[in-house]
Amino acid sequence: MNYIPKNIQAVLFDLDGTLWDTEKVSERAIAELLVQWQVDVQSVDLLAFHGIKWSVIGQLLKEQFPALEGLDIAARIEEHFEEIQRANPAPLIPGAARAFRAASAALPHTTAIVTSSNAPTVEDFLDLADLREHCATFTSADMCPHSKPHPQSYLMTAERLGVEAGHCLVFEDSEAGMHATAAAGMHCIAITGGHEGRTHVAERLAHATITDFTELADNFFGDVVQIA
C-alpha cells in the first residue's frame, strides 16, 4: 500500500469486521433467527447488514418481511449474537491488536473506536484484546442516534477528541462505514479481508485498501503523524 496520509491527528477504528472478525457471527445470528421465524434466508442479503445498528437491521427486516412486525428483532438478534460470542468468541483480525497499539503509541490521546455495536460489545473487545489502556475513547451505537452510513458517529468522535475531520484516519470494512467516513470528510483505509466484493466497494469509497493489518509497514503510524 502506497497511501501515506500526512498530519494525521487521530486514528479511528471501526470494530466489527475491522478489528474483530465478528461480521460472520452477526450473519449467523441473523440467519439462525430467520430460520426460526420461517423466513427464507436465501432471499436476504446479509452483507447489506454489515456496519449498521441492530435497530436498523430490525427495521429493514420488518420492511422486507411484514410478518415479523410484532417481534423485537433487534433485541433478539443482539441476544443471540452475544450467546454465540460467549460460547466461541470470534478471533481478532490479523495484526489488529498490534496496529491498535502502534496507533496509540503515535497518538496516545486520540486513538479511538467508532462502532455500530453497543457499548458492552466494545468493552468485551477491549478486555479480550487487552487494549483498554490504548483506547482513548469509543463511540458506540447506543451513544449515537444515527447509524452508519450517516457520518454522525465519526464526527461526534472527532469533536470529542478535539480533532478536525480532515486530520482523522479511519480503518473500515463495511460499505456503510466507508460512506460514513467519506461523508465526514476523513481519510479511509479499507480492510477487505481478501473478499472480492468488498474490494470492489472499497476501491470506490476508500483512499486505499489492505487485506488486514499485517500489510501495514512497521513505521506506518509514525509516518502519518508527520506534517507534510
Does 5 map to a domain?
no
Does 110 map to a domain?
yes
CB 209 within 8 A of CB 2: no
28's CB contacts (< 8 A; 6+ apart) are 84
In 3-state terms the chain splits into helix, strand, coil percentages (rounded to 5) of 50, 10, 35
Could you tell me the three cell numbers for 64? Answer: 422486507
Does 55 map to a domain?
yes
Q: How far apart are alpha carbons 124 and 126 in whole angstroms? A: 6
pLDDT in tens, 87-115: 999 999 999 999 999 999 999 999 999 99
The pTM is what?
0.93
Same domain flag for 145 and 206:
yes
In total, how many domains does the chain have?
A: 2
Same domain flag for 131 and 201:
yes
Same domain flag for 153 and 104:
yes
Domain range for 78 is 23-87
pLDDT in tens, 37-76: 999 999 999 988 998 999 999 999 999 999 999 999 999 9
Does 4 map to a domain?
no
Same domain flag for 131 and 216:
yes
Same domain flag for 137 and 187:
yes
Burial (CB < 10 A; 0-12, 13-18, 19+), residue 38, is exposed
pLDDT in tens, 143-195: 999 999 999 999 999 999 999 999 999 999 999 999 999 999 999 999 998 77
What pLDDT is recorded for position 228? 67
Longest dimension (CA), the chain: 57
pLDDT above 80 for 31: yes
CB 170 within 8 A of CB 186: yes
